[in-house]
Amino acid sequence: MAKMYYENEINEAALKGKKIAIIGYGSQGHAHALNLKESGFDVVVGVRPGKSFDQAKEDGVDVKTVAEAAAEADVIQILLPDERQKAVYEAEIAPHLTTGKALMFAHGFNIHFGQIVPPADVDVFLVAPKGPGHLVRRQFQEGAGVPGLFAIHQDATGQARDLALAYGKGIGSARGGLLETTFAEETVTDLFGEQAVLCGGATALVKAGFETLVEAGYQPELAYFETLHELKLIVDLMFEGGMETMRYSVSDTAEWGDYVTGPRIVTPEVKENMKAVLKDIQDGTFAKDWIKENETGRPRYTQYKEEGANHQIEEVGRKLRAMMPFIQEGKKKVVIK
Ligand SMILES: NC(=O)C1=CN([C@@H]2O[C@H](COP(=O)(O)OP(=O)(O)OC[C@H]3O[C@@H](n4cnc5c(N)ncnc54)[C@H](OP(=O)(O)O)[C@@H]3O)[C@@H](O)[C@H]2O)C=CC1
Ligand SMILES: CC[C@](O)(C(C)=O)C(=O)O
């Protein structure tokens, strides 16, 4: 089994006393900045004027422009959207990336696909929590932690590994465990997971199930509970104790579905499709397409986003969730972008 790093074996000395600039205050940015601050580290946030800037101020964080934060920091963590990192890096960060500083990421996209090429005399590494930023924050506050990956791209000072581990501990990820990887492995597997399984595959499965029931004449509210709401409860069981715990809690009839009906849905052809998606990610086809989509003003992204928001499952879900105050309580902790 691969070596995991946990809190008690990590010495924070390398990072203590250093100024950490968190560039961006969105999903990951707010979580890293607040968790690090509460872990006793010296944090400054760098972000453009606007919603995030105002939020950081309201949260009591020291907030400056990107250039100012980058200039005064020893460690610069870029938590901007991947597709905007290159431009902001070149204009506002690179001029302040002097010898011996550290440049960080939470995802290897821009280094792996050659969008950002840092100078050789700085450390370059990533610490990537394996979960959405709002959960990185929420779990930290609850005394838990989202596990994370770390990878070293350049170790100019000889301290990159110690810095990465201390940073991972500071954001709470060492409570769940830190696993060492490479930029290449993190980038490919993260893109594959989100595109094929977590944010692509899972939503496609849920929508197909919902549509199948509604098109067959069943009530949309019932279809919502059956295919989306209950999925969270089933995944919670798998999260807590693996598939074994899910199988223990569901009926034997439902468990039969795991063995017999599931493979009728996720057929060997689906795995072939997954392999094709993985290949596109590995050979850069996916990255090229996403970069082009952004350079041309995101026409498909904008259209799909609107279609997604107007899907019947979303309309029904909004109404049903409004009647469940306990879910509303959870939502308050998440800033909907
Ligand atoms: N979302 C997640 O949970 C995960 C993300 N990651 C990685 O973390 C990184 C950050 O992603 P994520 O947290 O989703 O990003 P978000 O979209 O949530 O936040 C982006 C932040 O960058 C700011 N920003 C955008 N453009 C600029 C600009 N030109 N100048 C200054 N600030 C700007 C935004 O401010 P404004 O409000 O002004 O737009 C916002 O504060 C990415 O590398 C991503 O791959 C890794 C693991 C999980
Ligand atoms: C699953 C989506 C993710 O990769 C993540 C939360 O890790 C992302 O980029 O947001």
148 lines ligand 1 (CB under 6 A): no
Cα–Cα nearest to 165, from 108, 114, 123, 224: 123
Give the model's pLDDT for residue 71: 98
Token pair, residue 255, equals: 């468990």
pLDDT at 336: 47
333 C-beta closer than 6 A to ligand 1: no
Whether the CB of 48 sits within 6 Å of ligand 1: yes
Regions of the chain short of the pLDDT cut 70: 329-337
Q: How far apart are CA 22 and CA 136, in angstroms?
A: 15
Q: Say what the pTM is.
A: 0.96
Q: Are 184 and 108 in contact (CB under 8 A)?
A: yes
- Does 247 appear as a known binding residue? no
Beta strands 123-129; 148-154: pairing state: antiparallel
Q: Which of 32, 47, 146 to mutate to test the pocket of ligand 1 (most atoms within 8 A of CB)?
A: 47
Q: Looking at residue 334, what is its pLDDT?
A: 53
Is any ligand 2 atom within 6 A of the Cβ of residue 200? no
Pairing of strands 42-46, 63-64: parallel
Q: Which of 107, 112, 134, 153 is catalytic?
A: 107
Please state the domain extents for the chain: 4-181, 194-327
For atom 9 of ligand 2, the residue with the nearest CA is 194
Determine whether domain 4-181 maps to CATH 3.40.50.150.
no
- For CA atoms 45, 46, 47, 48, give the dihedral sign: positive
pLDDT at position 98 is 98
Query: Does any ligand 2 atom lie closer than 6 A to the CB of residue 132?
Result: yes
Only one residue has tokens 């579905």, namely: 257
Count Cβ atoms below 10 Å from residue 131 Cβ, excluding itself. 18
89 marked as binding residue: no
Catalytic residue list contains 229: no
Which ligand 1 atom sits closest to the C-alpha of 80? 22
Q: Is the CB of 257 under 6 A from ligand 2?
A: no
Q: Residue of the nearest CA to atom 36 in ligand 1?
A: 52
Six token digits for residue 89: 């890096």
B/e letters for 210-231, b = 16+ CB within 10 Å, e = fewer, are beebbeeeeebeebbebbbeee
- Cβ atoms 188, 273 nearer than 8 A: no
Give the per-residue pLDDT at 330: 54
Most informative mutation of 79, 85, 135, 137 for ligand 1 (most atoms within 8 A of CB) = 79
| Position in ligand 2 atom list of the atom nearest CA 190 | 4
At 284 the pLDDT is 98
Task: State ipTM.
Answer: 0.98
- So what's the pLDDT on residue 146? 98
